[in-house]
Amino acid sequence: MGYDLIDVKPIAGNIGAEIGGIDMAQPLGNQAFKEVHDALMAHQVIFFRDQDISPAEHVSFARQFGTLHVHPYAPHHPDHPEVLILKSSKKNRSAANVWHSDVTFEEEPPLGSILLAREVPEHGGDTMWANMYMAYEALSEPMKRYLEGLKARNTAGKASFEKAYDNLSDAEKLEILKGRMAQEGAEHPIVRTHPVTGRKALYVNAIFTQKIVGVSSKESRAILDFLFDHLKRPEFTCRFRWEKGSVAFWDNRCTQHYAVADYGDATREMHRVTVNGDRPY
């Protein structure tokens, strides 16, 4: 794939590329938009460095890719509800150390997210992404046939809450749990077809996917545990070292990500704007 306006440098063998030639504070023209979108489709997650942008510019950049999502319970910027504030300290690591796709308990989960580093630790605090096309393609043919057509229930209930929020205070847990329990959840196919590329991707995750529909609880648990372990194989992944002003833009429909909580007492603050998606099929 050729690019005239941007530089695209892959950072791993099977997922991820760093993009040069874009100032996110400025509107993308038609050609630049096409090239950035093409790079996202080709590499699943793309990275930008040295982006000194305001919350309003962050929102404006994201709006070029679709309407924006407002998270149902997490804290956001006071002037821009589309900007989710993810501030992590030693006692609060949010969804760190868990592979997941975002907000799959909604009927139409996000297309993707644009994450900006506002404050990063001197050491540690990397994020990893995994290629769910490859996770699906690496399954055996009998397993693919078994999974084809199956759906799984995704919820934001207590079980998933406990996995991701062990380090929150009791008061913080209660407030977030109230928001999560208000979400009824959604059933999505275990194997999802990407609406742009047409490729099939594994679409279950360890935070929100609770049970395969139509099978026993014991069978569901065994299959889901196998898939959760399978999808994090190192050859499916890339790892990104954050700097202040770095940005990651990932396709939530064909990736999972994992925030590595290895930075001790340091604080890490990220701002995330999320683009609305469509119903998985």
Active site residue 37: no
Measured between alpha carbons, how far is residue 159 from residues 18, 71, 149, 231 in Å? 36, 19, 25, 20
Q: How far is CA 270 from the centre of its chain?
A: 13
Q: Which of 43, 93, 253, 272 is catalytic?
A: 272
Q: Is 251 a catalytic residue?
A: no
Q: Which of 102, 192, 251, 253 does the annotation list as catalytic? A: 102
Q: What distance in Å separates the CA atoms of residue 232 and residue 228, rounded to the nearest whole number?
A: 7
The answer to whether the CB of 273 falls within 8 A of the CB of 65 is no
What is d(CA 121, CA 110) in angstroms, rounded to the nearest whole number? 28
Strand order in the sheet with 255-259: 237-240, 127-131, 255-259
Query: Can 123 be counted among the known catalytic residues?
Result: no
> What type of residue is 36?
V
Which CA distances in Å does 6 have to 22, 114, 162, 226? Answer: 7, 18, 42, 39
Q: Exposure string (b/e) for 226-261, b if CB count within 10 Å is 16 or more?
A: ebbeebeeeebbbebebeebbbbbbbbbbbbbbbeb
Q: State the catalytic residue, choosing from 188, 253, 257, 268.
A: 257
- Residue from 71, 100, 253, 271 carrying the catalytic annotation: 100
Q: How far apart are the first and last CA of the chain?
A: 27
- The question of whether 257 is a catalytic residue gets the answer yes
Token pair in block for residue 81: 């509800």
> Which active-site residues does the annotation give?
100, 102, 257, 272
